[in-house]
Amino acid sequence: MDEIKPLDYKQAGVDIEAGESAVKAIKAKVRTTFNRNVLSELGSFGGLFRLDKTTWQNPILVSSTDGVGTKLMVAIAAGVYDTVGQDLVNHCTNDILVQGAIPQFFLDYIGVGKLDPKIIEKIIDGFVKGCRENSCALIGGEMAEMPGMYAEGDFDLAGTIVGIVEESQILPRNIATGDILIGLPSSGLHTNGYSLARKVLFERMKLREGSYIDELGESVQDALLKVHVSYLWVLQPWLTHTGLHGLAHITGGGIAGNLARILPDGFQARVVLPEDTIPAIYHIIQHGGNISLEAMRQTFNLGIGMICVVAAKDADEFMKKTNGRFIGEIFASEASSARVVFV
C-alpha cells in the first residue's frame, strides 16, 4: 500500500498566514473609519455599534446588501483594485438614501481564489475611502480564500450597510400630481450594465482595457472604472425638507424600472431625456452593439444616477443647489397605465 503523504490547509489552497497578514495590514486603515459609536475592534466575531439616542427620537434602521457585478472583471483585467470598494460603499449608501436614511456602519465580504495581501489591501483602501467619505464606520467583514470556487486572480465583493432614518421622515412621502422629476448626473455606468457593455466593447468592437476612445478623451478602462457617485452630501440638506417627496437610485432596470418602485398607485412619471443629453459612452455602446433604445433604457442609467421627485415650488432652488436638471413630471394616471413613460 502506498504511503499517504501528509496534507495541510495550505496545500489545499488556503493560506491562513496570508490571511492573517492581510488583516494585520488593514487594521489601522479600517480604524480610521471608526467613531465613538463603534465598540469593537476588527477581528471580533461581530461588530458592535451603539445607537446614539441623543440624535434620534424614533429611529428606524434601514439596511441593504449589494455587490459590484461584472465591473470587477474590468478592474481585474486593468489591475485597478482601489476603486471597486468605493463603488460598493457608494452604491449601498444611495440605496438606503432613497428612504431618507443616513449610513451608520458597513460590513464587507471578499471572496478570492488565492489571497494576495497586497491586492486585498488595495481593495480595503477603497472600502475605507468610501466609508470615510460617507461618514460610515467599517466595523467588520470577511475574507474567504476558496480555491476551486474562484480562479487564481479572481475575486468577488459584497457589502452590507445599515443606516437610520427618523420614522416621520421616511421617503417616499406625499408624491403628487405636478411634482417635478430632477435628475442628478452619474459619473458613468456606475455598477450596472457591465455584462452588456463588456460584450459590446471587448467582444464585438475588439477594444482592450487600455484602448483610447477619441469621443471620450480617455481609455476604455478609465471610462468604465469611474467611481459610482454617492449623493449623500448633496441630498442630506433636503432629506427633511417638505419639498423632497421621493428619490430613486438608478441601478439595474434603468430609469423606468427604478422610478416605478417609488410611485404610488394612480401616478405616472413622464420622463424627458433628449438623445443629445445622454453621455457619449452610451452612444458608443449602443451603436457598437446595435442595441435598441428600449434595451439601453432597461440596462443603463443613461447619465442619470439619482432621480429626485420635488414639489414644483421648490424645483428651481433644488436644481440650483444640487446641480440637477429637469427630466420630467408626475401626472395622475389610470391603474392600467405604465408607471413610467418616456416622452
Neighbours of 24 (CB within 10 A): 11
Last residue of a domain, one of 141, 169, 197: 169
Instruction: Tell me, yes or no, whether 186 and 158 share the same domain.
Output: no
252-284 residue pLDDT tens: 999 999 999 999 999 999 999 999 999 999 999
Specify the pLDDT at position 2. 65
Cα separation, 309 vs 259, whole angstroms: 10
* Summary mean pLDDT of the chain: 94
| CA 221 remoteness from chain centre | 18
Cα angle: 285, vertex 290, 296; to 5 degrees: 55
Band of the pLDDT at 16, cuts 50, 70, 90?
low
Quick one: pLDDT at residue 12?
59
Query: Which among 169, 204, 234 is the end of a domain?
Result: 169
- Within this chain, do residues 212 and 108 fall inside the same structural domain, yes or no? no
The answer to the question of residue 83 being in a domain is yes
Q: How far apart are the first and last CA of the chain?
A: 78
Q: Are residues 164 and 300 in the same domain?
A: no
Answer yes or no: is 107 within a domain: yes
Task: Tell me which residue has cell 455598477.
Answer: 191
Whether residue 3 lies inside any domain: the answer is no
Same domain as 197, residue 139:
no
- pLDDT higher than 80, residue 161: yes
- For residue 67, give the nearest of 20, 101, 111 by alpha carbon: 111
| Amino acid 6: pLDDT | 65
Same domain? 115 vs 239: no
184 plus 164 within the same structural domain = no
Radius of gyration for the chain, computed over Cα atoms and rounded to the nearest angstrom: 22
pLDDT for res 23 = 73
pLDDT at 15 over 90: no
Q: Which domain holds residue 240?
A: 180-342
Q: pLDDT tens, 189-231?
A: 999 999 999 999 999 999 999 999 999 999 999 999 999 999 9
Cα–Cα distance for residue pair 72/221, rounded to 1 Å = 11
| pLDDT for residue 293 is more than 80 | yes
Give residue 57's Cα distance to chain centre.
29
Which residue in the block uniquely carries the three cell numbers 475588439? Answer: 206
In a domain, 200, yes or no: yes
- CA triplet 160, 162, 164: central angle to 5 degrees? 160
The pTM score is: 0.93
My answer on whether 156 and 214 are in the same domain is no
Reading the block at residue 243, the C-alpha cell is 419639498
Mean pLDDT calculated for residue range 239-245: 97
For residue 109, tell me if it sits in a domain.
Answer: yes
268 in the same domain as 244: yes
Question: Using omega within 30 degrees of 0 as the cis cutoff, is the peptide bond preceding 172 cis?
Answer: yes
Residues 212 and 147 reside in one and the same domain? no
Statement to judge: residues 186 and 332 lie in one domain: yes
Number of compact structural domains in the chain: 2
